[in-house]
Amino acid sequence: MTAQRAIRGQVAYHDGRAAEDRIERHYRDTGHSLVNRRWRGRSGEIDLVMRLGDEVIFVEVKKARDFDRAAERLQPRQIGRLQNAALEFLAGEPRGMDTDMRFDVALVNGHGGFRIVENALAYA
């Protein structure tokens, strides 16, 4: 790996973390509580797991130069991994699969603006 490639990887990692921080703050400001950040199961990782009352919200954060490019980064294979990871997470909840839940996708642009698509994976 070249030094330049390593630097780009570090920048992308930190940009992603900053985007997650921004989205987490938004959810907290709107009354949600953080359950877990970068929760990892055997099937994959979920960026943010939030809770509002009894509902669990799985949030996938995608950052790119603009909203369209951010949305394009969520591919069908990743959607499957997210859904399987969510099933693993729900297995540890008191109500299991009867837990109220949804998948949100947070799109973050290069200027720090964001759009939350609630229940986004219901249509995937």
| pLDDT tens for each residue of 86-115 | 999 999 999 999 999 999 999 999 998 999
Q: Name every residue whose Cβ is closer than 8 Å to that of residue 118 and which is 6 or more positions away in sequence.
A: 102, 104
Task: Return the pLDDT at 52.
Answer: 97
Considering only residues 40 and 124, tell me which one the structure prediction assigns the higher pLDDT: 40
Identify the pLDDT of residue 6: 65
Residue 16: name the closest of 45, 47, 40, 50 by CA.
Answer: 47
